[in-house]
Amino acid sequence: MKLKTLKFGALLAASALALTACGSGSGDNGGDAAADDKKMNIAVFNGWDEGIATSELWKAVLEEKGYEVELINADVAPLFQGLSTGDYDVTTDVWLPVTHASYLEKFGEDIKDLGAWNEESRLTVAVNEDAPIDSLDELAANADKFGNRIVGIEPGAGLTEAMNKSVIPDYGLDDMDFVTSSTSAMLTELETATKNKENIVVTLWEPHWAYSAYPVKNLKDPKGALGDAEGMHTFSRADFANDHAEVAKWMGNFKMDLETLYDLENLLFVENDTDDLQPLVKQWMEDNRDFVDGMTK
């Protein structure tokens, strides 16, 4: 299996905490104001592939319209911080009402919700398809079959917070080792377990291309510890619409169902092994021109 996303995350990790001054912001832009109006950046969560896919798509679409767009990778907390201070213009992957709720409590007054582009997403705990359990309420009693480990993603992720606050205490999983490091590390462990035909428990979410790449199944959540379906929202700095009214309107009206998103993700992350996503995005755009044209109507 080609894990392009692991390479992508490694390439951008060095910029995870960096903030950029190229966002329009609310201060003095200097220079040619008209030129600055065509410049913007999109902040992308490390390792969250729906955010990578939609950000790459918006970059290509906006550049067709004459904009100059920079993608900036960041971890969750620095991303929200940068959005609130105006260093970042927009991000396409804020999950509500549960996953990123704590960040909205902290930064919500300084950022703006442009709208949900999909409301079918959900947090999950997944195991290999042939694992001997089907539900989270069976996991504690069978922890030894999974090496007493749950493999998570980034420590600051909303999914990690949901595991620590709800899933682990609600299902009595405190004796299991909940390992958190990065999405890339989790996917590496999932790949290794798949090759070795070993049992594994990972924290995941839908949509994610891993469901196409690996034989996994979601554990049932009878206690609802992971919450219900969530919306994936585009958020901007507070005054973004003042500087980019046209783009704010386009992004606010944007909708993408899971079938369309999976089609894009599979092309970018499963079917190809490259760090240069823009040629693939442009290929997808040509194959889905009606959808792409609708993004800027």
Q: Is the confidence at residue 106, as pLDDT, over 90?
A: yes
- Mean pLDDT across 93-108: 94
Angstrom distance (rounded) from CA 226 to CA 77: 21
Angstrom distance (rounded) from CA 155 to CA 51: 18
pTM: 0.76
Domain boundaries, the chain: 4-121+230-294, 122-218
- Mean pLDDT across 142-166: 95
Angstrom distance (rounded) from CA 58 to CA 107: 24
The HSE-up count of residue 211 (CA atoms within 13 Å, CB side) is 18
pLDDT digits (tens, 9 = 90+) for 277-296: 999 999 999 999 999 999 99
On whether the 4-121+230-294 domain is CATH 3.40.190.10, my answer is yes
Respond yes or no on whether the N-terminal peptide bond of residue 97 is cis (omega within 30° of 0): yes
Which of 31-45, 73-87, 189-203 has the least mean pLDDT? 31-45
Distances (CA, A) of 10 to 96, 159, 208: 27, 21, 19
Q: Is the confidence at residue 32, as pLDDT, over 50?
A: no
Under CATH, what is the fold of the domain 122-218? D-Maltodextrin-Binding Protein; domain 2 (3.40.190)
Q: Tokens for 210, please give them.
A: 């891993």
pLDDT of residue 273: 84
Which of 27-41, 183-197, 203-217, 281-295 has the least mean pLDDT? 27-41
Q: Is the confidence at residue 12, as pLDDT, over 50?
A: no
Look at residues 256, 292, 270, 286 and name the one whose alpha carbon lies nearest to residue 92.
256
CB of 17 closer than 8 Å to CB of 75? yes
Question: Are 4-121+230-294 and 122-218 equal in CATH topology?
Answer: yes
Q: Is the confidence at residue 27, as pLDDT, over 50?
A: no
